[in-house]
Chain A
Amino acid sequence: MTKDRRIHEKLLKYIIEVTFLDKDVIKDDTLLFEEGIFDSMGLLFLIDFIRDTFHIDTKDNELLVENFASVNSIAAFISKRIGFEESKKLVISDK
């Protein structure tokens, strides 16, 4: 399984656990907020899950629909941040 797919799977497992929805209902491109699966508290708990699971602190200016609309967009946001954090570590270790 690729790293990106592992992120997708962890997100899907989390969403199914907290929403009690059938796993067939949540697809990678399901619009989580648009379709009412998550509300503001859902977003707050999701940010907590992202911090605990992927060690990423979401910033105010990252609270954008393009980062949180669906499992696909959340996974892309996480991948981008993980890539950024890893590149920061590389820069530090190069010094």
Chain B
Amino acid sequence: METTSKAFSKEILNIENIELVCDEICHKLRGNIKNQLRRRGAVVGISGGIDSSVVLALACRALGQENVIGILMPERDSSPESLTLAQALANKFGVRTVVENITATLEGFGCYKRRDEAIARVFPEFNPLTDKAKIEIKQNIGQNLPSLFSLTIITSAGEILSKLLPVNEYLQIVAATNFKQRSRMAMLYYHAESLHYAVVGTPNKHEVEQGFFVKFGDGGADLMPIGHLYKTQVYQLAEYLGIPQEIIDRTPTTDTYSAEQTQEEFFYQMPFKEMDLIWYAWENQYREEEIAKVLQKSVDEIHNIFKNFERKQHTTSYLRAAPIF
């Protein structure tokens, strides 16, 4: 591996001129919407999370708040906090909002029923009315083997049970749950088309490149203005743009399963600060020894994390691929 010229450090991803970065993103966003997509404004799905909040703020800055609309799409399993925070964000930026509860849509698709059937095949005692469930990765990212998902249920009595998910149940749970993101995408396009607006997507760099999105779900958008930013950089923009502190302080969750679940336990397996730095190092071909020294980890661990990134990017390339013809 070749070494890049800039020495690796924990500060390497700090944005020096945030105002300039925001201006560049907004200039591009405005140009893309007006000239390339030829739309009048932007629709943003807001969840009370950091990424969608930053995108909404950027869209307001680029197009003016009167040309932006925030769509809130809670469903049965959403945390009530998501709705409250998303509404507080919209109020702060003076953006119109529409609340679309998608629970009935998801019931129509059989989303909950199909998911709960698969859960009950793993845990026959599971009661969807009283128990909560989530899927999570339990293996260490430093282990040189692909990670698999376990199903965890939390019974009404507070008992926590966990099992490695068999392949058929894993696939059914994921496929059923993906109705959530795909229903939201359909709803965003309804509002976008009815207003002649563009759908502005909210994935950050990790979500795009590690494949932490649903194809034709949250991956379905006309443009993704923060798709090139690391998560820690999204936080830097959030501070600069004046995103409400409760949103900045909130632990990133998937807000998809009935049991509470952080993005770290669901997918990333390491804290964002560390992941950003190691991903940057991997992408820019820094030497494993240099990273290990700065982050006080073993060279073997860094090597295995690099392998894990490589595997995730390779395995999820299908999600980023355009239709083949």
Contacts and interface: CB of A to CB of B under 8 A. Distances in A.
Interface stretch (B81-89, B163-171, B200-208, B230-238): B163-171
A25 interface: no
Given A33-B146, A36-B314, A65-B145, A47 B139 contact: no
Given A47-B164, A60-B139, A41 B145 contact: no
A14 interface: no
Residue from A38, A40, A41, A69 having most chain B Cβ neighbours under 10 A: A40
Contacts, number: 56
A44 B145 contact: no
Interface string B163-191: 01111101000000000000000000000
B4 interface: no
Contacts of A68: 145
Interface string B187-221: 00000000000000000000000000000000000
Residue from B148, B150, B168 having most chain A Cβ neighbours under 10 A: B148
B315 interface: yes
Nearest to A40: B146
B167 A64 contact: no
Contacts of B311: 33, 39-40
A58 B167 contact: no
Given A36-B314, A44-B167, A44-B170, A60 B138 contact: yes
Interface residues of A, number: 22
A62 to B, nearest CB: 9
Given A60-B138, A60-B139, A40 B166 contact: no
Given A60-B138, A60-B139, A63-B139, A43 B145 contact: yes
Chain B: interface size category: 20 to 34
Interface in B306-320: 307, 311, 314-315
Interface of B: 138-139, 143-148, 150, 162, 164-168, 170, 307, 311, 314-315
Contacts of B168: 48
A81 to B, nearest CB: 15
Nearest to B164: A60
B146 A43 contact: yes
A72 to B, nearest CB: 15
Contact of B144 (A33, A40, A59): A33
A59 B314 CA distance: 26
